[in-house]
A and B are shown apart, each in its own frame.
Chain A
Amino acid sequence: MNGSDILMALAALALAPLIGGILRGLDRILTARMQGRIGPPLWQPFYDFIKLCAKSKKASHRGPVVWAWAYLVLTVTAWLLFVLRQDLLILLFILAFAGASLALGAFSVRSPYAHFGAYRELLQMLAYEPILLLAAVAIFLKTGSFMVGDVLGFEQPLLISLPLTLVAVLIALGIKMRKSPFDIAASEHAHQELVRGVYTEYSGPTLALIELTHWYELVLVLGIISLFWVIPLWVGIIIALSCYFLEILIDNITARLRWSWMLTVGWSLGVGLILLNIVIVEFFGLGLRL
C-alpha cells in the first residue's frame, strides 16, 4: 500500500457518507413527488443524523451498541476493500458478517419485536447472499479474477456478457436498500406491524450510527453495480444511478410482500438468472476463457 492508496482510502471514507446521505435525501424527495407531495429538503438525512447524535443515550445494555459498532466497522472495511481494489469475494463475506451483526444486535435484547426483525433480517440475507456470491463467480468466470482491480482493468464492459446477472443483482439491491416489496425486516416507511423490527431497541446516537452505516452500504452496493461498465467509468455510475431510481420507482408501485415470496424470488429468479447467464457465457462461446 503506497501513499496515494492511503489518500484515496481517506477520501473514500469521508465522501461515501456524503454521497450516501445525498442519495437518501434524493430518495425521499423522489418518493414524495411520486406520491403527489413536495417532500423534505435534500439535506434532511443529515438533519436527522445530527439530531439523533444530540439525543440522550438510552440503551437497555451494552450488547446492542457493540453490535451496532460492529455493523459500522465491518461495512466500512468492506467499502475500503472495494476502494483499494481488493478481493470481491472477501468483501462480500465481510458485508455478510456486517448484516449478521445487525441481526445479532437485535437478538441481544429481549424485545420480541427486535427478535422478529432479526429473524426476518436473517431471511433477507438468505435471499440475497447467494445472488451476490454467484454474481462474483460470474464476474470471475468472465474476467478470470476476483480482484476489483482486475475487473476495473477489463477492457470489455461486463454488462454486454452478463446482463442477466445485473438483473439478479437488482433484486439484491432492493433487499439491501430495504425497499418494497422486500421491506420485511425493518418496516422502513413506518408500517409498524413490527414497531421497527431490527432497529426497535436502538435510539439516539446508536440509531445515527446505523443510519451512517446504511449510507456506506448504499454507496458500496451501487459501486458494485457500476463494476458492470468500467470503461469509461461514468457509464457505470449512470447505470448504478438509474438502477437506484428504478428501485425507488418499484418501491412506490409495489406493496410489501411476505418473506416466503422474497425467498422464492431470490432463489429462483435471482439465482436462476445468474446460472443461466453463466451457462450461456461458458457453453455457448460468448465468454472469454482464460
Chain B
Amino acid sequence: MGLITKSRIKSPWIVHYSCGGCNGCDIEILACLTPLYDVERFGILNMGNPKHADILTVTGPVNHRNYRVLKNLYEQMPDPKVVLAIGACACTGGVFHNCYNVLGGIDKVIPVDVYIPGCAPRPETIIDGVIMALKKLNEKGSKAE
C-alpha cells in the first residue's frame, strides 16, 4: 500500500449537509463523534467546510429550494470525493417521497457512492458506510493519478 493511499484511507474529512429531514439522522451522525463511538480514532474529522472535505454526508430529502445548495457544496469539494446518502429520506425520499415540494433521493441531483438505509440508521451502520466510502474514495483517487 502506497503512502498516498494509506494517508487517504487514514484521514477522511467529512462535511455534513442536512437537506431538511427530521434531524434524526443528524443526531446519529453527531453520535459517531462522541466518546462512545469516537470516529476520530480513524482520523475522521467533521470539517464544516466543503473545500476541506473528502466525504459529503447528506441527510434528508432534496427539494426544489435546496438542490442548488447541495449541488454547489458538491462542486466546491476538491477531487477525489465521495457522497454518502444517510437515512431513508436521502436514499429515496423516504416518507416525504410524494410531497409536492420534494424531488426525492439526493441521487436526483448529485452522484451518490454509498447508500446507508435506516430511519434513522444506527451509528454503527454510518461508520460501516464511511468505511465502504473510503474504498471508493481510494479507487477514484488512483484512477485520477
Rounded to whole Å, the gap between the CB of A109 and the closest CB of chain B is 11
In the complex, the chain B residue whose C-beta lies closest to that of A187 is B48
**By the criterion CB–CB under 8 Å, are A196 and B43 in contact?**
no
**By the criterion CB–CB under 8 Å, are A47 and B10 in contact?**
yes
Specify which chain A residues have a CB less than 8 angstroms from the CB of B51 in the assembled complex. 58, 200-203
Specify which chain B residues have a CB less than 8 angstroms from the CB of A32 in the assembled complex. 38, 40
Rounded to whole Å, the gap between the CB of B87 and the closest CB of chain A is 22
In the complex, the chain A residue whose C-beta lies closest to that of B6 is A47
A201 to B52 alpha-carbon distance, docked (Å) = 9
In the complex, the chain B residue whose C-beta lies closest to that of A58 is B78
A: interface residue count bin? 20 to 34
> Which of B27-51 touch A at CB < 8 Å?
35, 38, 40-43, 45-49, 51
A150 to B106 alpha-carbon distance, docked (Å) = 65
Rounded to whole Å, the gap between the CB of A275 and the closest CB of chain B is 40
A38 to B38 alpha-carbon distance, docked (Å) = 7
Is there a chain A Cβ closer than 8 Å to B7's Cβ? yes
Tell me whether chain A's interface is mostly helix, strand or loop, or mixed.
Answer: loop
A48 to B45 alpha-carbon distance, docked (Å) = 10
A204 to B53 alpha-carbon distance, docked (Å) = 9
Rounded to whole Å, the gap between the CB of B135 and the closest CB of chain A is 15
Is there a chain B Cβ closer than 8 Å to A14's Cβ? no
A54 to B42 alpha-carbon distance, docked (Å) = 19
Task: From A36, A51, A54, A207, name the one whose CB has the most chain B CB atoms within 10 angstroms.
Answer: A51
Rounded to whole Å, the gap between the CB of A60 and the closest CB of chain B is 10
Contact with B along A186-208 (1 / 0, CB 8 A): 00001010011001111110010
**By the criterion CB–CB under 8 Å, are A37 and B7 in contact?**
no
Is there a chain B Cβ closer than 8 Å to A112's Cβ? no
**By the criterion CB–CB under 8 Å, are A56 and B35 in contact?**
no
Given contacts A47-B10, A50-B3, A55-B80, contact A195 B40 (CB under 8 A): no
Is there a chain B Cβ closer than 8 Å to A252's Cβ? no
Given contacts A40-B41, A55-B79, A56-B78, contact A50 B4 (CB under 8 A): yes
> Which of A8-48 touch B at CB < 8 Å?
28, 32, 35-41, 44, 46-48
Specify which chain A residues have a CB less than 8 angstroms from the CB of B122 in the assembled complex. none
Is there a chain B Cβ closer than 8 Å to A57's Cβ? yes
**By the criterion CB–CB under 8 Å, are B45 and A190 in contact?**
yes
Contact with B along A63-101 (1 / 0, CB 8 A): 000000000000000000000000000000000000000
Which residues of chain B have a CB within 8 Å of any CB of chain A? 3-4, 6-8, 10-11, 13, 35, 38, 40-43, 45-49, 51-52, 54, 76, 78-80, 141, 144
* Contacts A51-B7, A56-B79, A195-B49 known; 17 new A-B pairs at CB < 8 A: A36-B35, A40-B43, A44-B10, A47-B43, A50-B7, A51-B10, A51-B11, A55-B54, A55-B79, A58-B78, A190-B48, A192-B49, A195-B48, A199-B52, A200-B51, A203-B51, A203-B52
Which residues of chain A have a CB within 8 Å of any CB of chain B? 28, 32, 35-41, 44, 46-51, 54-58, 190, 192, 195-196, 199-204, 207
Closest 9 pairs (CB-CB, A-B): A192-B48, A50-B7, A203-B51, A47-B10, A56-B79, A37-B38, A36-B35, A58-B78, A51-B7
